[in-house]
Homo-oligomer: A and B are copies of this chain.
Amino acid sequence: MPVRTAAQRRREAKLAYDAFMAECPSRQLLDTLSDKWVTLVLVALAHGPLRHAELARQIAGVSQKMLTQTLRALERDGMLTRSVTPTVPVRVDYELTPLGADLQREVRAIKAWAERYMPRVLAARRSYDARRS
């Protein structure tokens, strides 16, 4: 009987992997970017500050909870600023920081790629599906 079971070894490998992950900058960014709403918020704020409700309207399909969560995370990462105007009722504006604006430009590059090549991808998909039906 081995000192460690296969499962244990795997778990240890996973821990080492996580530690490695925690240090790798590109994977950290990938993690945040892989959040569905992050990119949409970035793009929505491209043309100036917006209020919470305005964002919710522009990003169809987002729940209020997810929107708040996403905004908090982006604020924490220094991608946007959150400014509260203490009127009644309160007014809260969100605006991209220079850093956020910069990332937003990168995201737009991906978007441009998509608009250019997605037809090809869709064609590939169709032919793949046809081949196995």
Chain A residues with CB under 8 Å of chain B are 13-14, 16-18, 20-21, 25-26, 28-31, 33-36, 39, 60-61, 75-79, 99, 102-103, 106, 109-111, 113-115, 117-121, 123-125, 128-129
Copies in the complex: 2
Set of chain B residues within 8 Å of A121, measured between Cβ atoms = 28-29, 77-79, 99
Set of chain B residues within 8 Å of A60, measured between Cβ atoms = 13, 16-17, 20
Whether the pair A39, B30 counts as a contact (CB closer than 8 A) is yes
Whether the pair A114, B20 counts as a contact (CB closer than 8 A) is no
Whether the pair A109, B106 counts as a contact (CB closer than 8 A) is yes
Whether the pair A28, B78 counts as a contact (CB closer than 8 A) is no
Cβ of A28 to closest chain B Cβ, rounded Å: 6
23 A-B interface contacts by CB (under 8 A)? A13-B60, A13-B61, A16-B60, A17-B60, A25-B118, A26-B111, A28-B114, A29-B110, A29-B111, A29-B113, A29-B114, A30-B39, A30-B111, A34-B35, A76-B125, A77-B124, A78-B120, A78-B121, A78-B123, A79-B121, A99-B124, A103-B113, A106-B113
Whether the pair A106, B110 counts as a contact (CB closer than 8 A) is yes
Instruction: Say whether, besides A34-B36, A39-B30, A99 and B120 are in contact (CB < 8 Å).
Output: yes
Q: Which residue of B lies closest to A129 (CB)?
A: B76
